Amino acid sequence: MEINKIKSQIKKIAKDFNLSYNSKWFNFIWITKRDEIILQYIGNCLDPVYKKYGNRIERIRNINKFFKNDLKKLSKRYGGEVYSLESLKYQIKLLPLIKNKKIRAEISKLLRKINKEIGGNSTALITKTKNKNELKILLKSILRHEWIHILLFHNSLEFGKINNKLWMYDEGLCTYLEAYIDKTTNQLEAKVKARKYPYEKKYFVYAIKFRELFKDGKTPKDKKMRINYFIKKLSIQSIRI
Confidence at residue 1, expressed as pLDDT on a 0 to 100 scale = 56
d(CA 17, CA 130): 36
- Mark residue 192 as left, alpha or beta (left: phi above 0; alpha: psi -120 to 50; beta: remaining): alpha
Of the candidates 25, 39, 26, 30, the one whose C-alpha atom is nearest the C-alpha of residue 111 is 39
Q: Consecutive sets of 10 residues in the chain, 241 residues long: mean pLDDT of each? A: 88 97 94 97 90 91 96 95 92 94 97 90 94 92 96 93 88 97 96 88 95 92 94 78 45
| Residue extents of the structural domains in the chain | 22-155, 156-241
Amino acid at 209: K
Asked if 48 and 199 touch (Cβ cutoff 8 Å), the reply is yes
Segments in 43-194 forming alpha helices (H): 48-51, 57-61, 63-69, 71-74, 85-94, 101-117, 132-137, 143-154, 167-182, 188-194
Confidence at residue 241, expressed as pLDDT on a 0 to 100 scale = 45
83 by DSSP, 3-state: which? Answer: strand
124 by DSSP, 3-state: which? Answer: strand
